[in-house]
Amino acid sequence: MIRLQPDWLLTDSGWQCGWQIEFHQGIITALGPAQPGARRLSRQVVMPGLVNSHSHAFQRVIRGRTEFRHPDRPNDDFWSWRELMYRAAMSLHPDQLEVVARLLYLEMVEAGITTVGEFHYQHHQPDGTPYADPDELALRLVEAARWAGVNLVLLRCAYHRSGFRVPANPLQVRFLDRSVDESLQAVERLRGRGLSVGVAPHSVRAVPPEWLGRLAEYARQHHLPLHMHVSEQPKEIEQCLVETGLRPVQLLHREGLLGGDFTAVHAIHLEADEIRALATSTVCSCPTTERNLGDGIVPALQLRRAGVSFTLGSDSQCQVDPFEDARQLDYHLRLVRQQRAVLDEPPGKLEDWLLTCLTQSGARSLKQPCGSLQPGLRADLVAIDLDHPGLACEAPQGLLWCAPREAVSQVWCRGVPQLEDRHHPKRAEAVESYRQVMKEFVHG
Ligand SMILES: [Zn+2]
């Protein structure tokens, strides 16, 4: 049994001063006004561990390596970045992927993340044939997360093609399922291994329309999260219109995907009826990636007014900084509208709402028993140091706007300390082995 008494505790009814939280065997057992004997966390605030709802671990290796305009591609955009990203996806073997994921997940723990949704589509060997264990790469990711101390939900992607009437791209052969049955068998197998799993049709580009209903039905039947990339780039919308006569969200509506179990990742290029159709769904926004790739800006105000919940994701891993992602959701709109605090509805509640996006909404999107400090939920906690120079304050109000990720001082995952005094005990090992892999990746 562990009892902690920080200066402030973030509960479902807001920040409480002088409270304690108690947990036992990885589960929160009680919280309330502090009693003698609790471990005092002076000048610290404690909140639920952050949820990162959208991650592609292997993309960590191209961080900082695509930030230039290629002389042969003067209009460098998402699609040329994607080719470079695919080259990375093609070259990593299982040992290398595990090392990359270890470093990435450790970086997430250091940023206060205790649960990650890994949107996983790198399934096969580089020539496209399955590994002896067809779940080899998925299991490497699961193992890396366990090693670093973060909960992982494996959002197992269905990926079938380059696009509607688009010739096969040899750089995608590791991703492909031959049939929807093959995709569903993989999900079934991973569930049978006792893993936390979700169903993830990759996108309207990569999955034929006739697969969508089956995938959604399976997810609903087994109460699994259903995630999909939606309307990230205008080109995929044009292709969808040509193939089906519908825009992507209209197609997902027709095929029965939308609703409380569904998370649309990105959801940037939307028309008014699509925004209305998404009302009961969740949008996973990845603003630091979206600005890096030049994707566009999510119409967060209209979506929120329609009733959409928001969660956040590190996606391409160009940064792993959940507070920054949350801030950017509003900052992008400020630049466009030349106004401040655009999402502050009702007034004065913007910070509270963004903290909810980082915790409760992510937990709901991934169907995980976390995201809130309530008895019975997982003891996933993060402490923030009010004495960090980026804060230097008495109370947590404003923390989201000011806290650098280095202000995260302690992290508990399932009640087990993973980060203490800003120190992850496996950091040096993770960095050293990652550097070795990068030498192989760059020169291999
Ligand atoms: Zn993504």
Q: What is the distance in A from the centroid of ligand 1 to the CA of 26? A: 30
Q: Calculate how far, in angstroms, residue 332's C-alpha sits from the geometric centre of ligand 1.
A: 19
* Residue 439: inside a domain: no
Q: What pTM, to 2 d.p., does this model score? A: 0.97
13 and 108 together in one domain: no
Same domain, 105 and 74: yes
Q: Which residues of 138-171 are buried (b: 16+ CB within 10 A; e: fewer)?
A: bbbbbebbebbbbbbbbbbbbbbbbbeeeeeeeb
- Are 59 and 88 in contact, with CB atoms under 8 Å apart? yes
If asked whether residues 17 and 67 sit together in one domain, one would say: no
CA of 78 from ligand 1 middle (Å) equals 12
315 is catalytic: yes
196 part of a folded domain = yes
356 and 382 share one domain? no
In a domain, 437, yes or no: no
Report the separation in Å between the CA atom of 291 and the middle of ligand 1, taken as the mean of its atom positions.
13
Are 399 and 361 found together in one domain? no
Based on the fold, state whether residues 345 and 418 are members of the same structural domain: no
CATH code (residue 219)? 3.20.20.140
Domain end, chosen from 338, 365, 392, is at 365
Is 227 among the catalytic positions? no
**Is the domain of 134 the same as that of 224?**
yes
* Domains of the chain: total: 2
Whether residue 387 sits in one domain with residue 260: no
Could you say which of 120, 202, 266, 388 is catalytic? 266
Last-in-domain residue among 349, 365, 381: 365
Domain of 401: which CATH number? 2.30.40.10
Residue 70 lies in a domain: yes
Residues 44 and 54 in one domain: no
Query: What is the Å distance from ligand 1's center to 82 Cα?
Result: 11
Looking at the structure, do residues 105 and 220 belong to the same domain, yes or no? yes
The pLDDT of residue 183 = 98
Residue type at position 391: L
Residue-level pLDDT, tens digit, the chain, 444 residues: 999 999 999 999 999 999 999 999 999 999 999 999 999 999 999 999 999 999 999 999 999 988 888 777 777 777 777 887 888 888 899 999 999 999 999 999 999 999 999 999 999 999 999 999 999 999 999 999 999 999 999 999 999 999 999 999 988 999 999 999 999 999 999 999 999 999 999 999 999 999 999 999 999 999 999 999 999 999 999 999 999 999 999 999 999 999 999 999 999 999 999 999 999 999 999 999 999 999 999 999 999 999 999 999 999 999 999 999 999 999 999 999 999 999 999 999 999 999 999 999 999 999 999 999 999 999 999 999 999 999 999 999 999 999 999 999 999 999 999 999 999 999 999 999 999 999 988 776
Q: How far is the CA of 7 from the centre of ligand 1 (A)?
A: 37
**Does the residue 442 lie in any domain?**
no
Residue 254 belongs to some domain of the structure: yes
The answer on 271 and 128 residing in a single domain is yes
Q: How many whole angstroms from 227 Cα to the centroid of ligand 1?
A: 10
Ligand 1 (ion): residues with CB under 5 Å are 315
Is residue 301 one of the residues assigned to a domain?
yes
Which of 365, 387, 405 marks a domain boundary?
A: 365
CA–centroid distance, residue 285 to ligand 1 (Å): 10
Tokens of 253: 């509506």
Residue 303 main-chain phi, psi, to 5 deg: -65, -45
* 295 shares a domain with 355: yes
Return the number of other C-beta atoms located less than 10 Å from residue 71's C-beta. Answer: 7
Structural domain boundaries, residue 329: 50-365
Q: Which of 7, 177, 295, 315 is catalytic?
A: 315
CA of 5 to the centre of ligand 1 (A): 38
Residue 441 inside a domain? The answer is: no
Looking at residue 26, its pLDDT comes to 98
